[in-house]
Structure formats: C-alpha cells, structure tokens
Amino acid sequence: MNHKTLKVEGIKTAGLDEGTFEGFASCFDNVDSVGDVVRRGAFAKALKSGRVTPLIWEHRSEDPRAYVGEVVEARETDEGLAIKGRFDLDTEHGAAAYRQVKGRRVEGLSIGYYVNRSQKAADGSTELLDLDLLEVSVVARGANDRALVTNVKSRPTAPTKSWLARRAADTLLATKGTTTMTSTARIEALTKGRDEQIKLITEIVETADKLQRDLTGEEAEQVQAATAKATDLDKKLKTAVADEDAISDALALAKSIGQPLRAGDDDGDRPKTGHLPLTGKGAKSLARSIARSSLDPQTKALVASGARTTAVELRSEIAEQGRPPQSILDVLPSRVVSATYSYLRQTVRTNNAAPVATGGTKPTSTYTVESVDGKLVVVAHVSEQIDHYTLSDNSNLEGFVESEMLYGLRTALENQIINGSGTAPNLRGLLNTSGIQSQAFATNALTSIRKAITKLESQGYTPGVLAVSADDWEAIELLTATSGATDVRGVPIDAVTRRLWGVQAVVSTVLPAKTAVLLDGSALAVDTDGAIDTRWSDAVSDDFVKNYVRARVESRFGLSVFKPMGIVSIATAAA
C-alpha cells in the first residue's frame, strides 16, 4: 500500500456537526518528489464501489484503536478528492483525534492507496489513473508529499495485506462456476487445478473468519499466491471452453450447410468434384434451402440483418434425365477448393513412345507442366429496393430467389468462364487462356464444328462439351432444309438431348458473336468454395425508414485450365 500526504490550509470543522470535518485528501495534477501525479478520475471506480473508507490516525492500520472514524462523503472536484469525515466520538481515540483537528494542531490528510493503472507521461512523470482508496489518515505533521514520500513508500501492514488478499479472493470466488463445462481432458484438468486453489483459499479464509481475526502475513501470502494461480487457470479454462464452443459451432455449421470439401470422396484426399447444379432441380433445391434459412423461426424476421450460407451440392450427373443442359455450368466439371490454391497446367505434350530393340535407347516423351496459382474471386450482385410487405406476403419466395438472384449469379459466372479478361478482379476465361486451339470458319457452322472435333481427336483428346450461341444452334438445325444437310448426309443432331455428333451441346448467352467452344471435360474445372451466401438487409441508405430491403447473393469461384490443347475456339461464321 502506498501513502501520499497533503498539507491542507486548515481542515475545516467550523459550521459543521460535532465530530465532522471537510478537506482535500488528494490533489490532482501535482507532480510529487518521486515523479507521481494523480489525475482526475483516478478515484472514480473506488468511489462507486460503495466500500466504507476508514479514517485512521497516522496510518497505524495494525492498531484497532487507531481507527478513529470514517469517510462519510467523497467526491472528485477540479482540485482533487474532497472528503467529509466523521470522528467516532464514542471512543477515546476518536474523540482525542477530533480535538486535535478542531484545535488546528493537526492539519494534514494522507491517503493509503493501491495502484490499479498508471502510465508514463511525456515529461517522465508517472500518471496515476486508477487507484483503490484503502484509507484516509489524519497526520500530526502537515507536511507535503516531497517531505514524507520517502517514509511512506513502505510494504503493506498485516491488516492491509489481509484486506488485499481477501479482496482479490472475493473477486475470484464471485466468478466461480460461471464457466460452462465441456467434457474434454484439457478442460477437466484446468478445472481441477483451479478448484484446488479455490479450496485452499476458502479453507484459509474460513479459518480466520471463525477466529474473528485478520489473515496473518503468511496466510495472506498463501491466499494471494493461490488467487493468482486460480485466476490464471480460470483464464486458460475460459479460453479452452471458448475453443470448444467454436469447434462445436463449426461442426453445427458444417452439418447445416454440408461438408463440401470431403463429402463423397472415395479416398478422402481429394476435394469433392462434380457439376454445379444452378439450373433446373438443382436451382430449385438451392432456392428452397435459401428460403428455409431466411424464414427460419430462430431468426426474428426475413429481413433481419445477417448472412445465410447455403451449400452447393456438386452432382455427378451432367443433366436431368430427358432434359438437355440449360447452362454450361451443368456440364463443366467443378470442384471445391480453398480460397487460394495451385494446380498443374500442361504446356507441352509430345508422345514419342515406340518399339525399342534389345539394348536400344528408349525414346523420350515430353509432358511439360507448370504450376499455376489460383484464387477464388467473389461473384455477387444486389437487388434493387424491395418493399418489406411485398416480400413477406409473397408465398413464392423460392421462385423469386431462383429466377432472379440465382439466374443473375449463374449468368455472371458463365461470362467469366468464357470471356473473363484475367485483369483483377476478373477470372481469366477460356477464350483468353494462352495455348488453346482455334478452328477457322469452314463452309458453315456445322462443318466448322466437325473440323474442331477432328482437331481434338487427332491430339488424343475426347470432345465432351460444345458451347454454342442460340443463333448458331438455330443455323445448325436449319441446315436440314439446305444443301448443307445433304453434304453431310443429314444433320447429326439428337434434338431431345441436344447432342451434335454425339457431343453434348449447350446453348450459351454469353458467347461472342460467331464463336463456339469445344472442349474435353478433363481439360478444366470450375473452382468454388462450395457455398452461396445470401444477406437480407435494410441498412442501405434510407431503406430502413422507407421500409425497403435488399438482397445480396454471392459466392466465390475460380477457373483451372489443366490442358489448354483440350479446348478449341471455333469460328462459326465468316469474319
């Protein structure tokens, strides 16, 4: 405990009730001889605690007779800590102390305090910012801090040590049992260690209470040491419980949105792969999932601010039975990856395998690959203002989410996969990837596409997906009424499944004019984090006061091109 003594220009007793006095126990902004300065607000917490501050004669806290009264009022002013004290006139020492003060033979006030928080000022002094006020003493010598400070920076007396130890222990015991327990070896060990220290503290304190005495110096030290250990263990325990809660929350989230990184893998070592179902039944299922999460009874309202994460389940089938693919995403392979990743891209493919005579040198084939760094980018959009009641009264929320927000997201992603420039934040699309093949226009779109198929097959690739524009597909089908159909013995189209020469065709709205794309399905993959995030909010602009809400739908995607030679850009008309 520290002391600071203040010379007061007379402790005031005139005009007050018998036995009371007023004065300043501490002054603010005054640098003392050891470089301490008490700042305003230093006693704020202590004054709010409601504890009784004893009035002691000359800091003799070890002598019960020296407790001559108490502080009945205390407040901070611009000048310092103003107090009103009352002497206990029913005791000999209290009455004697009051007579000395009233007779102006004693003019000094001194505080006993404990430093909770301090800091170094620019001038090198120590600013005392938060103090525990333990006691106020009247002192015979009205000296200032500069005169007495070297004598008052002493170790705590036994009663003070007892008080400090009990106070720290009380704070610890008051929080016991507030930590939620989880059955793990780590938490059980920390709990056991903390409770052992608490048991030791309790036994020492209860023994002293039964004997109606303060803690001895040794007991106070034991309590303080045990309190420090228990407090440290309690902090570690709370951290451990928080870790367990975080894991539990993560597992719950994984259960609710699925585990796209591992689910369905044969060996558990590769990310899940399949096709992004953003059309047909897949889109409807996703829309229902988003709608259910938005209308969950655990949330206060549909438009409550907060994110909803919905898993995108990658499917093995290319398209629904009896229905041709509606999007290139239905047929392109997709996989779930981390936010940043890398993959190998083939740059050279030279096959020199040949028969070798006995003892002959075997030919070398060249299959050069390079490592390419990939990064998922956000594809997102926000709806216009939507009236709250229009949305809440609309029973077909599923249709709204699917036909508008999900369609827009899908179209934007298709455009990035085909045409992305590669300039951040855009993906580098297929048509802007170096190393892909090209097929010039030849006679008509049908002939050009057939020659592109030959190009892939001659390189050992398997044509698997053909992306064409609506105009080009129309032109191909209309060849049945032209000489072009006769030239190739009829148009080889399966209209039901939309196949051309056995290759799955997809009509795309994002292809440049007079361009089609043919590819081997193993040449690339659409990368995703496996989830779509939806946020409903009324916190944009003045939406809240006008009862509007907006929806934001977003996800993260990337594109990995493993074999550029397995992709052909086709000119479907003359330039």
Express each pLDDT in 279-309 by its tens digit. Answer: 666 666 666 555 555 444 444 334 444 445 5
pLDDT at 416 over 90: yes
Identify the pLDDT of residue 151. 29
d(CA 334, CA 331): 9
Confidence of residue 436 (pLDDT cuts 50, 70, 90): very high
Residue 144 predicted with pLDDT over 70: no
Q: Where are the beta strands (DSSP E) in 411-453?
A: 437-439
pLDDT over threshold 90, residue 441: yes
Residues 370 and 351 sit within 8 Å (Cβ to Cβ): no
Write down the pLDDT at residue 396.
65
Report the mean per-residue pLDDT for the chain.
Answer: 78
- Please compute the mean of the pLDDT values over residues 472-478 and round it to a whole number: 85
pLDDT(32) > 80: no
Least trusted range by pLDDT, from 1-10, 142-151, 362-371: 142-151
Residue-level pLDDT at 147: 30
Q: Regarding predicted confidence, which is higher, 55 or 264?
A: 55
pLDDT number for residue 318 = 52
Q: Which domains does the chain have, with CATH numbers?
A: 2-154 (no CATH), 168-254 (no CATH), 273-353+364-571 (3.30.2400.10)
At 343-389, the pLDDT tens digits run 889 888 888 899 999 999 999 988 888 889 999 999 999 888 888 77
* Helix/strand number for the chain, H first, E second: 14, 25
DSSP structural state of residue 514: T
Q: How far is 155 from 173, CA to CA, in rounded Å?
A: 26
Of 504, 501, 386, give the one whose Cα is nearest residue 450.
501
Amino acid 428: pLDDT:
94
pLDDT of residue 320: 52
With CA atoms as reference, report the closest residue to 449 among 425, 468, 429, 426: 468
Reference 3, options 112, 128, 156; nearest CA is 112
Longest CA–CA separation in the chain, Å: 130
d(CA 328, CA 510): 10
Measuring CA to CA, how many Å separate 282 from each of 63, 224, 325, 402, 547? 84, 64, 12, 10, 32
In sequence order, the β-bridge partners of residue 468 are 507
Q: What is the mean pLDDT of residues 507-513?
A: 91
* Rounded alpha-carbon distances, angstroms, from residue 330 to 56, 135, 233: 86, 79, 55
What is the average pLDDT across 463-468? 93
pLDDT recorded at residue 92: 92
Q: Is the pLDDT of residue 531 over 60?
A: yes
Q: Of 426-440, 505-519, 543-557, where does mean pLDDT reach its minimum?
A: 543-557
Lowest mean pLDDT among 76-90, 387-401, 409-423: 387-401
pTM summary value:
0.51
In this structure, the dihedral spanned by the alpha carbons of residues 441, 444, 445 and 449, taken in order and rounded to 10 degrees, is -70
The residue ranking higher by pLDDT, 278 or 384, is 384
pLDDT at 52 over 80: yes
Reported confidence tier of residue 397, pLDDT bands at 50, 70, 90: low
